[in-house]
Structure 1
Amino acid sequence: MANINAIQTMAAKDVVSAKLANAYVTIDGNRYLLFQAKNLKASIKKTKQEVDILGRPTKGHKATGASCSGSLTIYYNTSLFTKMLKDYKDTGADTYFDIQITNNDPTSDAGEHRIILKDCNLDGGEIAAFDAAGDWLEQELDFTFEDWEEPEAFKDLDGMKA
């Protein structure tokens, strides 16, 4: 009989460092290293409908769609994104772009992880900034995206498969 107290735990070295990452943005076929990125989060939110089910008091839930969105904070020292907003204002032509994010902590056995967010589109963004009491300038950018690819997935850590 297995001892419940003998459950394997994750090794501390396998936590992936938040700082050991890089990001590239591809705009109109031009690829840029986004080294001014401070943080990025991208997520998918499923749309669900409640389902009445005969014979039980609780409702079920059925996915009926999804929406993808993200947020990006960069140090405010590039006009890449401001130019997209200006182009839209001046011409009505909207810009779609891809963002590739790679997490790679060489200490972790989880290995390298790479996601490419496809057809990103800005919701808006700051076009000018200053802060007399601040230390540096940042630009907050919210966006949507249509799809993603995962060319490199994290590896299962030792002990995950039960």
Structure 2
Amino acid sequence: MQSMNAKDAVSASLAECFITIEGNRYNFMQAINLEASIEKTKSEIPILGRTGKGNKTTGWKGSGSATFHYNTSIFRELLYRYKETGQDVYFDIQITNEDPTSSVGRQTIILKDCNVDGGILAKFDADAEYLDEDLDFTFEDWEMPEQFSHLQGMQ
């Protein structure tokens, strides 16, 4: 029986996060964590001759959440702009995971047309070690220009 080598677990902190807003690309090194997922939307399909219904995928929706150190005003600027002008700004987020110890290589996901759900305007905490902020968002599309290779023994 073959099993995974411990060295092939991808380090949680060895990642890069870039955000592109209106042609400006920012290295979001202040990101603490980010998770994006898709949820498939399905319709229940009645089928003659069966007691149960089938399920057919009819689409998907993308959403995500992230935590950042509270040391950038970029998202507050987008929220302020929306408040003042009604113009909502969409942006892309690129996440690359690569651990040089692991044999799987690197994976890059680009989340397209992201839009924040809201955000923190001001914050303090006299009892905290540092300030961070959570951000929820949706996205309209995604690409995977690089993907992890298979571990030895998977195929």
TM-score range, shorter-chain basis?
over 0.9
Aligned to 1:135: 129
Q: Which amino acid aligns with 2:132?
A: E
Aligned to 2:103: 109
* Structure 2 counterparts to residues 142-157 of structure 1, below 5 A: 142-157=136-151
* Separation of aligned partners in 2, 1:44 and 1:100: 16
* Separation of aligned partners in 1, 2:59 and 2:17: 28
Q: Which amino acid aligns with 1:119?
A: D
How many pairs are equivalent? 155
Q: Which amino acid aligns with 1:42?
A: A
The structure 2 residue matched to 1:120, chosen from 108, 114, 119, is 114
Q: Work out whether 1:35 is the aligned partner of 2:3.
A: no
Aligned to 1:48: 42
* Separation of aligned partners in 2, 1:51 and 1:149: 30
Deviations 1:37-63 (A, max 9, x none): 000000110111111222222221111
Aligned to 1:4: none
* Separation of aligned partners in 2, 1:106 and 1:53: 50
Query: What do you get for the CA RMSD once the two structures are aligned?
Result: 0.8
Is there any run of 5+ residues in structure 1 with no aligned partner, and where?
A: 1-6
* Separation of aligned partners in 1, 2:110 and 2:46: 38
Larger Rg: 1
Give the superposition deviation at 1:96: 0.7
Q: Which amino acid aligns with 1:93?
A: Q
In structure 1, the residue corresponding to 2:100 is in which secondary structure?
A: coil
Identity of aligned residues (%): 61
TM-score by length of 2: 0.97
Q: Work out whether 1:73 is the aligned partner of 2:38.
A: no
Is there any run of 5+ residues in structure 2 with no aligned partner, and where?
A: none
TM-score by length of 1: 0.93
